[in-house]
């Protein structure tokens, strides 16, 4: 062992001792805090005297509860913090740090050795920093520079100096395994090593090997919006998650994980990335899918189509007569042009076109839709929709008040009183006694007269009517949305440019669904846009940062929506148009349109072209599947060339896949994916491949990304990766249409170490170029079929 290595091992041992000491101290403290929390929860009510006899007593009780709840919240937070610090320190016992820079600051005579790890560690005096957090300003030198002049930004200004040396350490279980002086070694050994490993059930953090261009994303700190457009496997998701950790560190005084929200493509993906922040000692941000949001807003009124059902339709239902119309409907309804149509439509509603629903009581209209329309359009037409709706609402409530008085003496009220059960009668008496100023003790003395009871009954019956009015449910949004499609000529008045050529057919498909109480995925966001433009937008001001992954799959509508929904947030958007699998994004290939959301001045676009996930031979193949793929730079990691094998029929294919899977397992591949085009193909494959031990099928409803052998549709493989990928059937028959190129590319780019393509019959022409240039092996069947 050379002396340098020995010295470093000693340094490591010393640091570990400090960590262990802190762990011991914190361990008992954390336990004590936990007990405090349990105790306060258990005895929460002991300290509070409940008394609601008078208003003052009531107020006092409320204050006492609030105080007690605050005290509990403080001890819970303290416990959470010490628990979190403890788990960070426990991780640091395994890997205290991963890098070091020797930095000579301008004006100093001696350089400082800066060790970098997942969190700051001070010595026992608390004065000296033994390990710097990877997010500290000085740590950026580690990611941004090779030895030579270097600088970093601090809140107080730019610090310049000389990076004398840069070290990378490979430490496992607290033992130093190797170390590299990066000025002497060529290439990036640690990155090679990390990328060469097998997959995990969860995505891992990349802090030890963040690349310079990724560091720009992580520390980006200007404007309202950051757009990252990057090749498959270039680390977009990784950079986004480390960016969240960075923001939580930098703004720790006034930003917490609950104020950050990540929009992910599906729950499988959410689950897959859920470990990165905890691994870095941070709490997880909130994670949602756009579909969950749509469902939350619309499911009371409609059956909302799942985006994957829409996709499955596009991928498999090509033979249907309405297919072309539906696809052009999907595209049009996602476009900025349709957003303009909705806006113009809302404007036109100021003059005419609002549809209302009768307000009825006991089967009879109190106010008819026609009367409401007259009232609404009788107002000053220059007043905004929302203002006029408020006035209409007040008018309706007045009408209900007038009606209420007329109902008191009606026969039905008398009948209802006669039919009241004892319990109902007693309840009513209690309620009225309380209103008349009686206390709990003397309420039995209250002499309830029938008039008061009649009034109470009418009031209760009218409660739901009032509620409907207050929540503006007398406006028939569904009918207003339908109107757009009922009169085919209307679009011409609203659209800027040509309306889609299939417009009548689009109208028919749309109306058919709405009439059945269903709303198609492509209609859901425009519908909400219309509704909120009429009623006023809902906003969540507590969210400070929104991250949208797989952003190429979002429409202009959806972005407009997110902007309005989170008005106080900055946005980080990540995507790759070569992986745009939804029909609505098919023709786009950049985020140009998106820069308009906050305006180019407030938006920055960063491109990532280096790809890390797959071996070089796999990237050499996949980048030949897409236009301008030559701009993708593979990381130099060796492996086998992807191979194609062709069969005459499916029986041969299944036999070969079964044997290939067992070969791949023997080679040590932990995760193997058999990727099909659609869910329909996946189900067939799953049945036919039942000989494969523990084969699992992933569906759009699957929650957990599983290791082992899985069969899944292309679109669910989005964002995740596998040691080896088998493309189930890469034939021209399956991937013949040009629109499927991106789906095919997405599937192939999921492979880290091995990629095998199979085809029943002639293979897809997407692979022609790669084949001609020798980047895809044409492999004969390896197995002897018995
Ligand atoms: N700097 C890095 N150090 C180590 N691993 C990295 C680095 N950058 C990316 N990776 C690895 O490369 C793989 C791909 O990263 P990630 O999933 O973040 O890419 P992506 O751009 O979001 O991919 P896609 O668009 O294909 O879903 C992951 O295994 C990730 O850990």
Q: What is the pLDDT of residue 567?
A: 95
For residue 166, say whether it is annotated as part of any ligand binding site: no
User: Which atom of ligand 1 is closest in space to residue 194's alpha carbon?
Assistant: 4
Report whether 201 belongs to an annotated binding site: no
- Work out the pLDDT band at 703, boundaries 50, 70, 90: confident
DSSP state of 635: P
Residue 219 has a pLDDT of 94
How far does residue 264's CA lie from ligand 1's centre (Å)? 16
Q: Is 731 in the pocket of ligand 1 (CB under 6 A)?
A: no
Given a contact cutoff of 8 angstroms between Cβ atoms, the answer to whether 426 and 446 are in contact is no
Share of the chain above pLDDT 70, in %: 98
- The C-alpha atoms of residue 748 and residue 387 are separated, in whole angstroms, by 54
In short, whether 238's Cβ falls inside 6 Å of ligand 1 is yes
CA of 718 to the centre of ligand 1 (A): 13
Q: Whose CA is nearest to atom 8 of ligand 1?
A: 235
Give the pLDDT band (50/70/90) at residue 786.
Answer: very low
Other Cβ atoms within 10 Å of 90 Cβ, number? 15
Q: Rounded to whole angstroms, how far apart are CA atoms 305 and 320?
A: 18
Instruction: Tell me, in angstroms, the distance from the centre of ligand 1 to residue 703's CA.
Output: 21
Q: Which of 94-98, 733-737, 781-785 shows the lowest per-residue confidence on average (mean pLDDT)?
A: 781-785
Q: Is residue 265 within 8 Å of 278, Cβ to Cβ?
A: no
Specify the pLDDT at position 186: 55
The model's pLDDT over 347-377, given as tens digits with 9 standing for 90+, comes to 999 999 999 999 999 888 899 999 999 999 9
**Would you say 384 is a known binding-site residue?**
no
Percent of the chain beyond pLDDT 90?
A: 65
Tokens of 511: 């109306």
- 717 vs 32, residue with greater confidence: 717
Asked if the model's pLDDT at residue 428 lies above 70, the reply is yes
107 labelled binding-site residue: no
Q: Which atom of ligand 1 is nearest to the CA of 208?
A: 3
pLDDT (average), residues 203-213: 90
Annotation-wise, does 237 bind a ligand?
yes
- Is the pLDDT confidence value at 754 over 90? yes
Q: From 579, 523, 536, select the one nearest 748 (Cα to Cα).
A: 579
Q: Does residue 117 contact residue 167 with C-beta atoms inside 8 Å?
A: no
Q: Tell me the C-alpha distance between 458 and 412, whole Å.
A: 10
Section 380-396 average pLDDT: 90
Give me the mean pLDDT over the 418-432 stretch.
83
Is pLDDT larger for residue 57 or for residue 138? 138
pLDDT in tens, 106-116: 999 999 999 99
Range with the poorest average pLDDT among 63-67, 297-301, 327-331, 454-458 = 63-67
pLDDT at 218 over 80: yes
Which atom, in ligand 1's list, is nearest to the CA of 750? Answer: 26
Residue with tokens 């300290």: 47
Mean pLDDT of 146-158: 93
Report pLDDT for 607.
95
Q: Higher model confidence: residue 22 or residue 778?
A: 22
Q: How far is the CA of 206 from the centre of ligand 1 (A)?
A: 8
Which residue has tokens 């029986």? 651
- In this predicted structure, the answer to whether residue 209 has a pLDDT above a threshold of 80 is yes
Cβ 613 under 6 angstroms from ligand 1: yes
- Rounded CA-CA distance 653/226 in Å is 45
> What is the model's pLDDT at position 713?
95
Band of residue 121 on the pLDDT scale cut at 50, 70, 90: very high
Q: Where are the alpha helices (DSSP H) in 408-541?
A: 411-418, 422-435, 450-470, 477-486, 490-494, 503-515, 521-535
**Low-confidence winner among 431-435, 445-449, 594-598 (lowest mean pLDDT):** 445-449
157 is in an annotated binding site: no
In DSSP notation, 237-287 reads HHHHHHHHHHHHHHTTTT--GGGEEEE-S-HHHHHHTTTHHHHTT----EE
Instruction: Give me the pLDDT at residue 783, please.
Output: 56
User: Residue 784 has what pLDDT?
Assistant: 46
Per-residue pLDDT, averaged over 458-463, amounts to: 90
Confidence label for 497 from pLDDT (cuts 50, 70 and 90): confident
Instruction: Report whether pLDDT(75) > 80.
Output: no
Atom of ligand 1 nearest to the CA of 241: 18
Is pLDDT at 260 greater than 50 in this prediction? yes
Distance 612 CA to ligand 1 centre (A): 6
Residue 542: predicted pLDDT: 95
Q: pLDDT tens-digit profile of 6-56? A: 999 999 999 999 999 999 999 888 888 778 778 777 777 776 677 766 777
- 230 touches ligand 1 (CB under 6 Å): yes
Q: What is the mean pLDDT of the chain?
A: 90
Region 654-680 average pLDDT:
95
């Amino acid at each position: 062992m050379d002396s340098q290595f020995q010295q470093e091992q000693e340094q490591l041992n010393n640091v570990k001792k400090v960590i262990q000491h802190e762990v011991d101290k914190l361990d008992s403290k954390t336990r004590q805090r936990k007990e405090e929390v349990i105790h306060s929860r258990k005895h929460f009510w002991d300290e509070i005297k409940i008394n609601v006899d008078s208003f003052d007593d009531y107020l006092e009780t409320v204050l006492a509860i609030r105080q007690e709840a605050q005290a509990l919240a403080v001890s819970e937070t303290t416990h959470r913090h010490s628990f979190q610090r403890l788990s960070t320190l426990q991780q640091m016992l395994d890997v205290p740090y991963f890098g070091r820079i020797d930095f000579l600051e301008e004006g100093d005579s001696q350089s400082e050795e800066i060790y970098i790890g997942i969190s700051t560690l001070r010595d026992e005096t608390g004065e000296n920093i033994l390990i710097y957090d990877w997010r500290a300003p000085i740590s950026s030198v580690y990611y941004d520079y090779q030895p030579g002049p270097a600088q970093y930004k601090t809140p107080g200004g730019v610090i310049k100096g000389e990076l004398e040396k840069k070290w990378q350490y490979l430490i496992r279980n607290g033992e130093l395994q190797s170390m590299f002086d990066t000025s002497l070694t060529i290439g990036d050994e640690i990155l090679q090593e990390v990328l060469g490993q097998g997959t995990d059930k969860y995505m891992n953090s990349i802090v030890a090997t963040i690349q310079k261009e990724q560091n720009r994303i992580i520390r980006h700190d200007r404007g309202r919006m950051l757009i990252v457009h990057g090749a498959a496997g270039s680390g977009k998701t990784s950079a986004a998650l480390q960016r969240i950790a960075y923001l939580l560190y930098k703004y720790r005084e006034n930003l917490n994980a609950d104020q950050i929200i990540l929009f992910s493509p599906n729950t499988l993906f959410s689950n897959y990335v859920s470990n990165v922040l905890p691994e870095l000692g941070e709490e997880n941000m909130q994670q949602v899918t756009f579909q969950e949001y749509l469902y939350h807003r619309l499911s009371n009124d409609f059956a909302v189509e799942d985006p994957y059902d829409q996709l499955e339709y596009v991928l498999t239902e090509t033979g249907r007569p309405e297919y072309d119309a539906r696809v052009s409907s999907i595209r049009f309804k996602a476009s900025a042009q349709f957003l303009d149509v909705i806006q113009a439509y809302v404007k036109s509603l100021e003059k005419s076109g609002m549809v209302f629903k009768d307000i009825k009581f006991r089967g009879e209209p109190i106010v008819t839709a026609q009367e409401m329309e007259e009232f609404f359009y009788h107002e000053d037409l220059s007043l905004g929709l929302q203002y006029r709706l408020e006035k209409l609402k007040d008018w309706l409530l007045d009408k209900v008040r007038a009606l209420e008085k007329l109902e008191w003496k009606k026969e039905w009220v008398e009948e209802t009183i006669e039919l009241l059960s004892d319990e109902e009668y007693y309840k009513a008496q209690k309620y009225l006694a309380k209103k008349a100023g009686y206390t709990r003790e003397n309420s039995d003395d209250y002499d309830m007269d029938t008039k008061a009871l009649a009034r109470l009954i009418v009031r209760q019956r009218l409660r739901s009517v009032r509620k409907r009015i207050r929540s503006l449910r007398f406006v028939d949004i569904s009918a207003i949305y339908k109107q757009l499609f009922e009169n085919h000529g209307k679009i011409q008045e609203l659209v800027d440019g040509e309306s889609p050529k299939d417009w009548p057919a689009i109208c028919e498909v749309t109306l058919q669904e709405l009439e059945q109480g269903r709303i198609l995925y492509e209609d859901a966001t425009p519908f909400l846009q219309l509704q909120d433009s009429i009623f006023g937008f809902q906003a969540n001001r507590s969210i400070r940062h929104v991250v949208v992954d797989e952003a190429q799959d979002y429409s202009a509508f959806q972005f407009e929506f997110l902007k309005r929904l989170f008005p106080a947030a900055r946005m980080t958007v990540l995507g790759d148009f070569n992986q745009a699998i939804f029909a609505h994004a098919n023709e786009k290939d950049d985020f140009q349109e998106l820069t308009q959301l906050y305006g180019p001045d407030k938006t920055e676009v960063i491109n990532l072209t280096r790809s890390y996930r797959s071996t070089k031979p796999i990237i050499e193949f996949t980048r030949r599947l897409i236009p301008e793929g030559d701009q993708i730079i593979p990381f130099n990691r060796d492996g086998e060339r992807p191979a194609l094998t062709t069969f005459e029929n499916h029986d041969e294919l299944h036999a070969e896949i079964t044997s290939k899977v067992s070969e791949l397992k023997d080679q040590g591949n932990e995760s193997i994916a058999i990727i099909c085009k659609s869910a329909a193909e996946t189900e067939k494959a799953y049945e036919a491949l039942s000989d494969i031990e523990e084969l699992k099928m992933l569906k759009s409803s699957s929650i957990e990304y599983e290791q082992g052998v899985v069969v899944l549709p292309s679109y669910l493989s989005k964002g995740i990766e596998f040691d080896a990928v088998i493309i189930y059937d890469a034939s021209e028959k399956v991937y013949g249409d040009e629109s499927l190129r991106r789906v095919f590319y997405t599937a192939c780019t999921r492979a880290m170490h091995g990629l095998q393509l199979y085809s029943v019959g002639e293979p897809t022409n997407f692979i022609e170029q790669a084949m001609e240039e020798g980047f895809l092996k044409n492999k004969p069947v390896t197995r002897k079929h018995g």
